[in-house]
Structure 1
Amino acid sequence: MADQANNGNGDRDVFVYRGGRAPDHVTHVRIDKSVEVIVDFAFEYCARLLKVDTHDRIRKVGMSAFYGCRSLRSIDLRSAVEICSMAFDGCENLVDVEFGDKLETIGIYAFDECTSLEHLNLTSIITIKHGAFKYCEALSSIEFSERLETIELSAFLNCGRLQRITIPLKRDLFSFDPVLQEDTQFKGCEQLTTVDLVRGAHNKIVASLHMESWRTEIKEEFNRINQDLPNIDRQRKTAAIKQWMDSVIDKMDLYKAEHHRYVKEAVTLLELALWKAKLAEKDEHSAEGKTKKKAKLDSESVRKEKRVTCGADTVIRNILPLLQLE
């Protein structure tokens, strides 16, 4: 369904899209506010399409919805939750796509061969499917957030100008190809030299460490990837990033275990000191001439009572969690 509407300047018509398949000749489109899903193949091969005005109720862009729209230069998808497979495949002049804070999934080959796309700000994305941005030759930077869980195989294959990515520190972020026995997410990205962690995670992690030697080691580990990556073969960029991330996480797990052991020892000593002080206080107030009974230090009921009355129970419950590493 569609209407033709004058744009106010009298020099061209705007196609008002209300669903279904659009005519091949459209050049300017306004998505009607009644539309929440741009259906599969809606504008496929509309090679003259230049401009699409969207709105804040669009939730989904269907499969191949804009496939082969080679004249389209920009689109606002800030309300979209899902962009399906091949939605913008072959949109070779697409320079700018506005992604919002609701987007969760980008489908297979969704932006394949969008050779003019330069920057990606995907701060809400959870899953990027196979080949979603492969052969995006102008792409130079990508920013993800902590929400990112999976980047599938060949997602950014042969993005030759990609230089910088910002990603969360997580295990199993990259899916593995059991046939080729390799990670191909950034394969062929020969200019990829810089990996940052999202939202200043470097500084947050370093600040959480309570020993200077740990802080020094983790800083060195953070720096290592950006020292090594320029010299790594373009076919092995993903593997290098994955190994580095695993190494950082392994070190953090080691630090957490050591930190927990130190804290547990310190709190145990504090608990015993408070407990002994309470027992000594009780002995001092015992009636003169009475035989002092030996405290049953191995009695759980006595231990529990003294922990409550001496304050150790409050230390364990309220202070100990504050001393743990996240």
Structure 2
Amino acid sequence: MADHADEEDEGVNVFVYMGGRAPQHVTHVRIDESVEAIEENAFNGCEHLVQVETHDGIRSVGFRAFYNCRLLRRINLRSAVEIDVWAFNQCEHLESVEFGDKLETIGASAFYRCHSLQHLNLPSIITIGRLAFYNCKALTDIEFSERLDKIGTNAFSGCDRLERIAIPLKRDLFTLDRSADRSWQRYEQFDGCHQLKTVDLVGGAHTKTVSSLHMEKWRTEVEEEIHRINQVLPNTPADDKAEAIRQWMDAVLDKMDHYKGEHYRYVKEGITLLELALWKARLDEKEDSGRTKKAKIDVDSARKERRITCGADVVIKNVLPFLKLN
């Protein structure tokens, strides 16, 4: 049984949660400021629970903490770092969850069949477990973190109203179910997401890299590849969308890696030419020092001519922009 105190709040009996497991009949809950972790099964099966007031000291939500709390509509978890397996499983009326910039992990089936959940903004998420948002039928838009590292199998399967995701450009974001028959393995993160047609990229690393590429042709090709996904995704079968996104990411990164390699090759060649040009200019200056002094205007003209004839002016103008690549 949970430690608690009951309070009257505008005629409503408020259960103050201090740990343990809450009584099944509670409807309104205030999480005491002493609580940093909402324990496993804390409100499991509290089918009449409609409101939970949290605070900024909560760090984790335990296994099945709010399992089957069907009437709960919204909750603020802006300070949580981890949401455990099955934490909000089958909270059918849960419309809104506020995640803060500390949340790193959402466990398997954590929001399984939360049919009313509409939008997700996960500004610091790193790991999303398998089936985490399975069958969230009202979900239309997801904003992932640029720190995102893993999306488990079927994490968003059955989200048949999902239209847009914003995701970082990384390899191996999608995982496979290692327990499945290898001959049948495929990427199933967005199976059944018939409306998914738009992918935007989060984080500025790719933009900086593209803008730093020296050749306009290279920049154009990479940008075309980045935009290609939103041309093909609307016509991609629902059960192939995860694979299409994964292949597209690999293609963009492969093209960027190719042109970064070309970029550095030009840098190396340009630096060599620059070194030779400066070496030749220095030899010519030493040669000048042993000659009869000429008028200053003649010396300046000679140096300008040497820069042109040895190619130093061309090298400096065209090589230096290569030297900084994000």
**Counterparts in 2 of 1:199-278, with a 5 A limit?**
199=203, 203-278=207-282
Which residue pairs with 2:134 in the alignment?
134
Give the aligned partner of residue 79 of structure 1.
Answer: 79
Structure 2 counterpart of 1:108: 108
SS at match of 2:98: strand
Q: CA deviation at 1:320?
A: 6.5
Shift of 1:223: 1.8
Contact 1:21 1:42 in 2 (8 A): yes
Q: What do residues 95-136 of structure 1 show as CA deviations (whole Å, max 9, x unaligned)? A: 000000000000010000000000000010000011100110
The offset of 1:277, in angstroms, is: 1.4
Unaligned 5+ residue runs, structure 1? Answer: 289-311
Q: Secondary structure at the match of 2:76?
A: strand
Percent of aligned pairs with the same amino acid: 62
Is the partner of 2:272 in helix, strand or coil? helix
Contact preservation (8 Å) 1:202, 1:222: no
Structure 2 distance, partners of 1:153, 1:24, is 33
Q: Is the 8 A contact 2:214 2:322 kept in 1?
A: no
Answer whether contact 1:67 1:91 (CA < 8 A) is retained.
yes
Once the two structures are TM-superposed, the CA of residue 205 in structure 1 deviates from its matched residue by 4.3
What is the alpha-carbon distance in structure 1 between the residues aligned to residue 128 and residue 325 of structure 2? 31
Deviation at 1:199, TM superposition (A): 4.2
TM-fit CA distance, 1:217: 1.1
Distance 2:131 2:61 in 1: 17
Q: Which amino acid aligns with 1:106?
A: I
Q: Deviations over 1:212-234 (max 9, x none)?
A: 11122122212211110111111
Q: Provide TM-score, normalisation by structure 2.
A: 0.87
Secondary structure at the counterpart of residue 5 of structure 1: strand
Q: CA RMSD in A?
A: 2.1
Q: Which residue of 1 aligns with 2:297?
A: none
Letter matched to residue 2 of structure 1: H
Q: What corresponds to 1:6 in structure 2?
A: 8
- Please say which of residues 262-271 and 127-136 is displaced more in the overlay: 262-271
**How far is the alpha carbon of 1:22 from its aligned partner?**
0.1
* Residue aligning to 2:48: 48
Cα contact 2:199–2:229 (8 A) shared by 1? yes
In the alignment, which residue of structure 2 is the partner of 1:172?
Answer: 172
Output the TM-score relative to the length of structure 1. Answer: 0.87
Return 5+ residue gaps in structure 2 as ranges: 293-311
Task: Check whether the contact 2:92–2:113 (CA below 8 A) recurs between aligned residues.
Answer: yes
Question: Aligned partners of 2:274, 2:206: CA distance in 1, in Å?
Answer: 33
Amino acid at match of 2:130: H
CA distance in 1, matches of 2:55, 2:132: 24
For these two proteins, the number of residue pairs brought into alignment is: 297
Q: Which runs of 4+ in 1 moved over 6 A?
A: 319-322
Q: 2:198 aligns with which of 194, 197, 201?
A: 194
- Residue 275 of structure 1: how far off its partner (Å): 1.3
Q: Distance in 2 between matches of 1:262 and 1:213?
A: 15
Partner of 1:158: 158
Cα deviation 1:290-326 (Å, max 9, x = unaligned): xxxxxxxxxxxxxxxxxxxxxx9xx99xx97972422
How far residue 244 of structure 1 moved from its aligned partner, in angstroms, is: 0.3
In the TM superposition, 1:305-324 aligns within 5 A as: 323-324=323-324
Alignment of 1:69 onto 2:69:
yes
Matches of 1:321 and 1:130, distance apart in 2: 45
Equivalent residues of 2:77, 2:98 under 8 A apart:
yes
Q: Do the aligned residues in 2 keep the contact of 1:259 with 1:324 (CA within 8 Å)?
A: no
Aligned residue in 1 for 2:58: 58
SS in 2 for 1:195: strand
Q: C-alpha deviations, 1:13-43, integer Å up to 9, x for none?
A: 1000000000000000000000000000000
Aligned to 1:146: 146
- 8 Å contact kept, 2:59–2:82: yes
Counterpart code for 2:25: H
Give the aligned residue type for 2:101.
Answer: D
